[in-house]
Amino acid sequence: MKCGRISSMKIIKNIQELKTHLKTLNNTIGFVPTMGALHEGHISLINQARTENEIVVVSIFVNPTQFLAGEDFEKYPSKDLADSKICELCGVDILFMPNINIMYGEDEITIKAPNTKSYILEGLMRPSHFDGVLQIVLKLFNIVQPTNAYFGKKDAQQLSLIQQMVSNLFLPINIIQCEIIRDEDGLALSSRNTYLSKDEKEKALNIVKSLRVATQLIMKGNLNIENIKDEMKQILQNIEIEYIEIVSRSFTKIEQVEIKNSIILVAVKVGNTRLIDNIWI
């Protein structure tokens, strides 16, 4: 873990207390929303927020509305004690840990993610997932009112939709996109990696391998999307592929790979664990 500043961090569970506390501070606020089970990926977001803002707020809330029936909401890893230690060591000023009853009421006004961008790829596999993501992110933005909010490129479609929400709803917040963090073998870090057995982890390494092969093909001048996807499918043949796709960085269809404007996205299931990864070209 690469952070080393011990702060006097405040853990706040109540919205009014958080708002009152933030009102007393007249500083730039860097915000890192999370669902907990923090890993080096989150730590890199927190570190970036720490260097770019006077106050750093992290939230931990496993948001029920972004999980579909049958997904892992009930067993999503929860590590509150370890997470708060990590935040403290990383110099977080405020750790916001609300419960469900505080964040949601009955029969709420909801957010509807845009049809074109939200019901392809992740949104096709997980219909209404992004409605729930935008709902909670908007609530958190309204509570924290950050100057800058930090999101990882690993959830590329989520990141793009949050950028669109900020633009469409004229929210005065800068969205900072942060690089994907990988373990020493190349597996993109995710809280769900803890579900993988040793064998499954070995299989999962083919995801990054397929993305690297795709990048090499592109560097050699092959910009044909179907060719690249076929090569990737070969590498992923022992894994259940949900989708392999190459789209523009704003998630529109492209005829061929466009350098500096494409993302190659992969979603697979390894055993019972769903993993996503991508590379920005």
Write out the residues near ligand PAF by the rule CB under 6 A. 33-35, 63, 66, 133, 136-137, 155, 158
Cβ atoms within 10 Å, residue 112 = 11
Task: Outline where DSSP puts E strands in the chain.
Answer: 10-12, 29-34, 55-60, 94-96, 148-152, 174-178, 240-248, 262-270, 273-280
Q: Write down the least CB distance from residue 182 to ligand PAF, Å.
A: 17
> Which of the following is catalytic: 21, 39, 42, 129?
42
Strands 148-152 and 174-178: parallel
Q: Write down the least CB distance from residue 138 to ligand PAF, Å.
A: 10
13 vs 233 by CB, closer to ligand PAF = 13
Q: Write down the least CB distance from residue 130 to ligand PAF, Å.
A: 9
175 vs 214 by CB, closer to ligand PAF = 175
Which amino acid is residue 257, in one-letter code? V
| 270 in Cβ contact with 262 (< 8 Å) | no
Respond yes or no: is residue 42 known to be catalytic. Answer: yes
For residue 94 the two structure tokens come to 């405020």
Give Cβ neighbours of residue 123 (< 8 Å, ≥ 6 apart).
113, 117, 129, 130, 157
Q: Write down the least CB distance from residue 5 to ligand PAF, Å.
A: 23
9 vs 45 by CB, closer to ligand PAF = 45
161 vs 228 by CB, closer to ligand PAF = 161
The dihedrals phi and psi of 201, each to the nearest 5 degrees, come to -60, -45
Q: Which residues are catalytic?
A: 42
